[in-house]
Structure 1
Amino acid sequence: MADAAATTGQDAQDTSDDTAPSASDDSSNRRIERESPERRFITPEEALNAVFEGNERFVNGTPMHPNQGVGRRNALANTQEPFVSLFGCSDSRVAAEMIFDVGLGEMFVIRTAGQVTDGVVLGTLEYAVDLLNTPLLIVLGHDSCGAVTAAHESFESGDTPGGYIDDLVARIMPSIAHARAQGREGIPGAVTQNTIDTVNRIPQRSPLIKRALREGRLEIVGLTYRLADGRVNMAAHLGPIVDPDGNPLDLLTRS
Structure 2
Amino acid sequence: MIERRGLIGALALTGVAVATGAGAPAASAAQPWPGSADAALQRLLAGNARFAAGRARHRGQDVDAVHGSAQGQHPFVIALGCSDSRVPPEILFDEGVGAVFDQRVAGGIVDDAILGSIEFAVGEFAPPLLLVLGHERCGAVSATVDVVQNGGRAPEHVQSIVEAIAPAVLAVREQPGDLVENAVRENTRTVAEQLVRRSRTVRRAVRANRLDVRAARYDLDTGLVELL
Same-fold call, TM cutoff 0.5? yes
Distance 2:226 2:96 in 1: 21
Structure 2 match to 1:112: 105
Query: Is residue 174 of structure 2 the alignment partner of residue 149 of structure 1?
Result: no
Distance 2:180 2:170 in 1: 12
Please identify the structure whose Cα radius of gyration is greater. 1
Distance 2:58 2:45 in 1: 15
Structure 1 match to 2:220: 227
Of residues 110, 124, 131, the one that matches 2:124 is 131
TM-score normalised by L of structure 1: 0.75
2:41 alignment partner AA: L
User: Is this contact kept in 2: 1:130–1:209, CA < 8 A?
Assistant: no
Query: Is residue 58 of structure 2 the alignment partner of residue 79 of structure 1?
Result: no
Q: Could you report, residue by residue, the CA deviation over 1:204-243 in whole angstroms, capped at 9, with x for unpaired residues?
A: 10000000000000111101111111011111xxxxxxxx
Distance 1:211 1:158 in 2: 40
1:192 alignment partner AA: R
* Shift of residue 181, structure 1, vs aligned partner: 5.7
Structure 2 match to 1:16: none
* Shift of residue 162, structure 1, vs aligned partner: 2.3
Unaligned runs of 5+ in 1: 1-34, 236-255
Structure 1 match to 2:195: 202
* Shift of residue 185, structure 1, vs aligned partner: 4.2
* Shift of residue 69, structure 1, vs aligned partner: 2.6
Deviation above 6 Å: which 4+ runs of structure 1? none
Of residues 34, 59, 63, the one that matches 1:70 is 63
Query: Is residue 209 of structure 2 the alignment partner of residue 216 of structure 1?
Result: yes
Distance 2:198 2:114 in 1: 11
Percent identity among equivalent residues?
35
Distance 2:155 2:64 in 1: 48
Of residues 154, 179, 191, the one that matches 1:186 is 179
User: Is this contact kept in 2: 1:84–1:134, CA < 8 A?
Assistant: yes
User: Is this contact kept in 1: 2:27–2:33, CA < 8 A?
Assistant: no
TM-score normalised by L of structure 2: 0.84
User: Is this contact kept in 2: 1:39–1:81, CA < 8 A?
Assistant: no
Unaligned runs of 5+ in 2: 1-25
* Shift of residue 182, structure 1, vs aligned partner: 5.9
| RMSD of aligned alpha carbons | 1.7
Task: Identify the structure with bigger relative contact order (alpha carbons < 8 Å, sequence gap 6+).
Answer: 2
How many residue pairs get matched?
201
Q: Could you report, residue by residue, the CA deviation over 1:7-33 in whole angstroms, capped at 9, with x for unpaired residues?
A: xxxxxxxxxxxxxxxxxxxxxxxxxxx
Distance 1:70 1:36 in 2: 17
Query: Is residue 52 of structure 2 the alignment partner of residue 59 of structure 1?
Result: yes
* Aligned-partner SS, 1:193: helix
Query: Is residue 52 of structure 2 the alignment partner of residue 50 of structure 1?
Result: no
Distance 1:184 1:114 in 2: 20
